[in-house]
A and B are shown apart, each in its own frame.
Chain A
Amino acid sequence: MKKLENMLEHRLNKDQNVPYPNFDSMWERIEQDTTASVHTRMSSGSQNRGRNWSKIAAVASVSVLLAAAPVYAAVHYNWDTMLRERGGIQAALAQNLGQQLDQSVTKDGVTLKLHTAIVDENRTVILFTLDVGQRQDSETWRVTGMTLKGTGGGNSSGEYNYLNWDEKNQIYNGYFESEWTPENDKVNVQLVANDIQAFSVQSLDLPLDIHSTETQSFPIGQEGMRSIEVKPFTQGQEKMLFSSAIIFDQPEAKEWAYPNIVGYKNGTLINSLPGGTYGTPGEKGEYTAQQYFKAEDVSGGQLTYKLQYMKKEKDVNGPLSFDLQLSKKQMESGTIKTSLNLPLEVGETDYTLENMVVSPTQIRVTVRSKDIDNSFPYKKYALEVAGKTLEGNLWRSPEGEPELTVLRFERPVDLEITKETPITFVAKYKVTHHGSYKITKNNDDKIPLLLTNISQKKQTIIQQLSGYPVKWTYYMQGSDLYVETGSDDAHFGGINQTHIGLDKERILGKPVTVNFAGDGNNKAIDVYKDFKGTEASIYMFYYTTDDPEKETRVQIRP
């Protein structure tokens, strides 16, 4: 299949034989059509028609052009708490590398004020405050849709904002972060926020019977949610899994409701364990979640369950927008770009450290993978810089370059880096894929496992995979076949998905659990709806093995 895939990629992108039409005359026809239309967008910036910009002023906007001036803006506000994960930004502020903005917009008694921009080769960060007037203790505020415009499009990826309540000053401190950085000396952009909203936490009793393995349904009728279905699963000795699906009458409420199940044991709150997944859309668009609880937490004592969710209390409708002129000029002197081309592992060519960019706020290392389908094989990564260890974050690949992985390392406040500073890259916890990673690979080497006497009774088969005992448990429930896989040996990473039969007759198991590689959870459940028969040849796509001890070190400098 791989050959066919390559051939397709090649053929479908080959230009020369495509009978392209005359695009110029097509453009003329489109122009005529769209200018004749009353529905033309006003703010699309279509310069050909010259009647667009007047309406944009209708949004709450302050148009102040600001020259880039280095000002240390963190005088009155305690940015440090908020920026505890952003040491590089603190470092830039401490060196007066911020660009003062001082613009604010007030609407419905809520003031959004921009203070400082930190712009360098790697990113743009804007510090702001949100004054919501009298805030109730139960309220949580957020700013939605914050984005930079006029950045040349396609750059709105990697944008987000973070708010932190400052008890002392009774104000929210916040920052906005974007991947985008200006290409030229000075660039005019707009920072826009859609809405500013307040939420409160609510809960609803859920008369859940966790000893029943049946799917249980409850009406909700709150915050756009119609009903919830919950199915409990026992996962090994120590965990319970609640798999749930919520049907929303008001789909937009999925954006903020964050529904999740919590337990109360003798009145004390029991939260689910980390590692749950929320909000995966189900087959009919329902909001599905998988939450894990410690088995001992949910046994014995007086147990009750509740559905916790966020209720929208206030909504300040935007957009609110700010015109800004941003520049990364002052940061340029502190930026060092180095091309590396070093293998990730000695003697291997699968992954190469390609380059490193050290900016005043962050260090980025780009890794190139030989096969675009292979993700970076280590789960932990750090840079050792002059005796200090900087933990890294994996960032998604740049657009159109899936073979690249970008690792980001935040610069601590008190670390000076020059061209001579020694730097070593360290990666730990290796995850290895085994088997057909791609769904399209041929099936020749696939060996089935035979499930026999399929019935309501739970039956178990032990299979050895890479030397680890893997337990397959299968049983019917109603008309559905459930297949659970997992191993007591934590070095086994888990099976991603199973299927019954091959080729045309193949039936795919629908994963009940969301299976991440390297998450320390090797237990997975697949369901085959409306399964007929008492025997099945079952296969898997791939499994992973974890090697938490495995470490590789790459000396970058000297």
Chain B
Amino acid sequence: METNRELFEAYNKDVYRTCYYMVHDAADAEDLTQDVFITVFRTNRENVEHMKAWIMKITVNHCLNHLKRKRTLQQKVSDNLYLFKKSPETPVDRLIEQRETTMEWAKYLSQLPVKLRMVITLRYMHDFSLAEVSDLLSIPLGTTKSRLHKGLKVLRRILLEAGVQIDQKEGESYEKVREYAGASVE
């Protein structure tokens, strides 16, 4: 069996990245990561068959609890987001730069409802199969499928609204974003 240190080295980035994309806040993600590993080390893992899946399950639960705690406040803010929104005055060039950054992606994801975000993160960040995701979240396979599908749909809309061209090739997508952004400003 791996030592605690080996486990920590092997999975700290996976755990952190998941938390980061789930909660969209670096400091919270750091605290959560630490809590996850403390839980992992305190639990008897002798009978754990699939270590990564098990750790991700703990991670998922920590994130969900955290979000649940935060939701009351956040909900109020996000439900009334229009009150806080300013008219867009960020220079176009900076917008384009930001668009491709991880921060932005964490932001796009954070606009997804938690349930959908969780499924998307597990499926595409960690490449868990649909069955494994169902298992991790203790939901039926059909629910996972529909959440994944819905998540992709909503995310596509979020990205389109943000002006991100959905394409496979990076360079190309950058160009298109530039074109798109340019056009919309003119």
- Cβ-based interface call for A76 (8 A): no
Q: Does B26 contact A (CB under 8 A)?
A: yes
Q: Do residues A4 and B44 form an inter-chain contact, with CB atoms below 8 A?
A: no
| Complex: A13 Cα to B127 Cα, angstroms | 10
Q: Which residues of B contact A11 (CB under 8 A)?
A: 102, 105
A439 at the interface (CB under 8 A from B): yes
CB–CB B30/A439 < 8 A: no
Q: Do A156 and B49 have beta carbons less than 8 Å apart?
A: yes
Min distance, Cβ A180 to any Cβ of chain B, angstroms: 13
Q: Contact partner of A41 among B42, B102, B146, CB < 8 A?
A: B42
Give residues of chain B (28-73) contacting chain A, Cβ–Cβ below 8 Å: 29-30, 33-34, 37-38, 41-47, 49-52
Residues from chain B with a CB closer than 8 A to the CB of A5 are: 124, 152
Give Cα A9–Cα B152 distance, bound, in whole angstroms.
12
Given A3-B166, A15-B13, A17-B102: A34 and B3 interface contact (C-beta under 8 Å): no
Q: Mark B123-146, 1 if CB is under 8 A from A, else 0.
A: 011010100000000001010011
Q: Are A34 and B16 in contact (CB under 8 A)?
A: no
Q: Say which residue of A8, A19, A48, A440 sits within 8 Å of B4 (CB atoms).
A: A48
Q: Which of B41, B145, B146 contacts A34 (CB 8 A)?
A: B41
Contact B166 A33 (CB under 8 A): no
Asked whether, in the complex, the Cβ of B13 is within 8 Å of the Cβ of A20, the reply is yes
Query: Distance in Å from the Cβ of A255 to the closest Cβ of chain B?
Result: 13
Q: Is A301 an interface residue (CB 8 A)?
A: no
Contact A41 B101 (CB under 8 A): no
Q: Judge whether B153 is part of the interface by a CB distance below 8 angstroms.
A: yes
CB neighbours of A34 from chain B (8 A): 4, 38, 41-42
Q: Shortest Cβ distance from A499 into chain B, in angstroms?
A: 9
Residue of A1, A18, A30 touching B38 (CB-CB under 8 A): A30
Q: Is A39 an interface residue (CB 8 A)?
A: yes
B1 touches A39 (CB 8 A): no
Q: Which A residues touch B12, using CB under 8 A?
A: 23, 26
A19 & B26 in contact (Cβ 8 Å cutoff): yes
Interface pair B142/A8, CB less than 8 Å apart: no
B166 touches A46 (CB 8 A): no
CA gap between A26 and B35 in the complex, in Å? 10
With A17-B102, A18-B16, A510-B142 in contact, is A41–B41 under 8 Å at CB?
Answer: yes
Specify the chain B residue showing the minimal Cβ separation from A282: B140
Of all chain B residues, which has the CB nearest A149? B1
* Closest CB in chain A relative to B27 CB, distance in Å: 9
- Which residues does chain A contribute within 8 Å of B85, judged by CB atoms? none
Chain B nearest CB, measured from A383 CB (Å):
29
Contact check, B16 vs A44: say whether CB atoms are below 8 A apart: no
Given contacts A8-B124, A21-B16, A46-B4, contact A30 B41 (CB under 8 A): yes
Across-interface contacts of A152 in B (CB, < 8 A)? 2
Are B1 and A8 in touch, CB under 8 angstroms? no
Inter-chain CA distance A27–B46, complex, in Å, is 22
Docked pose: A117 CA to B57 CA in angstroms = 35
Least Cβ–Cβ distance between B112 and chain A, in angstroms: 11
B38–A43 contact, CB under 8 A?
A: no
Asked if residues A7 and B168 are in contact (CB atoms below 8 Å), the reply is: yes
Pair B1/A44 contact, Cβ less than 8 Å: yes
Nearest B-chain residue to A19, judged by Cβ: B26
Partner of B148, one of A29, A30, A440: A440
B17: interface (CB < 8 Å) = yes
**Number of B residues whose C-beta is below 8 Å from A?**
57
Contact yes or no, B30 A21, CB < 8 A: yes
Interface flags, A440-480, vs B, CB<8A=1, else 0: 10000000000000000000000000000000000000000
The reply to whether the CB of B115 lies closer than 8 angstroms to some CB of chain A is no
Q: Is the interface of B mostly helix, strand, loop or mixed?
A: helix
Q: A387 in the interface, Cβ–Cβ < 8 Å?
A: no
Residues from chain B with Cβ under 8 Å of A41 in the complex: 41-45
A150 at the interface (CB under 8 A from B): yes
| Contact A17-B149, Cβ < 8 Å, known A4-B166, A12-B125, A41-B44 | no
Q: Is there a chain A Cβ closer than 8 Å to B167's Cβ?
A: yes
Q: Which of B102-127 contact A (CB under 8 A)?
A: 102-103, 105, 120-121, 124-125, 127
A6–B124 Cα distance when bound, in Å, is: 8
Cβ–Cβ contact A12 & B146, under 8 A: no
Q: Is the CB of B51 within 8 A of A154?
A: yes
Return chain B residues, CB-CB under 8 Å to A40: 41-42
Give the residue name and chain of the B residue nearest to A152 (CB).
Answer: B2
Specify which chain A residues have a CB less than 8 angstroms from the CB of B152 in the assembled complex: 1, 4-5, 440
- With the chains together, A526 CA to B120 CA distance in Å? 26
| Chain A stretch 116-163: residues in CB contact (< 8 A) with chain B | 145, 149-150, 152-154, 156-157
CA distance A440 to B153 in the complex (A): 9
> Which B-chain residue is minimally distant from A373 (CB atoms)?
B129
A87 within 8 A of B: no
| Known contacts A41-B44, A44-B45, A47-B3; is-contact A283 B51 (Cβ 8 Å) | no
Contact present for A153 and B168 (CB under 8 Å): no
Most buried by A among B2, B4, B30, B166: B4
Give every chain A residue within 8 A of B50 (Cβ-Cβ): 154, 157
Contact of B127 among A9, A17, A145, A504 (CB under 8 A): A9
Within 8 A of A (CB), among B69-95: none
Question: Assuming A30-B41, A44-B41, is B3 touching A4 (CB within 8 A)?
Answer: no
Known contacts A13-B125, A17-B102; 16 additional CB pairs below 8 A are: A3-B168, A5-B124, A5-B152, A6-B168, A9-B127, A12-B121, A18-B13, A41-B42, A44-B1, A44-B45, A46-B3, A46-B41, A47-B3, A157-B49, A439-B149, A440-B149
Q: Could you name 18 residue pairs across A and B whose Cβ atoms are closer than 8 Å?
A: A3-B166, A6-B168, A7-B173, A10-B170, A11-B105, A18-B13, A18-B17, A21-B29, A21-B30, A29-B34, A30-B8, A41-B41, A47-B5, A48-B5, A154-B50, A439-B145, A439-B148, A504-B150
**Shortest Cβ-Cβ A-B pairs, 8 listed:** A17-B102, A12-B125, A8-B124, A21-B30, A46-B4, A19-B26, A153-B2, A9-B124
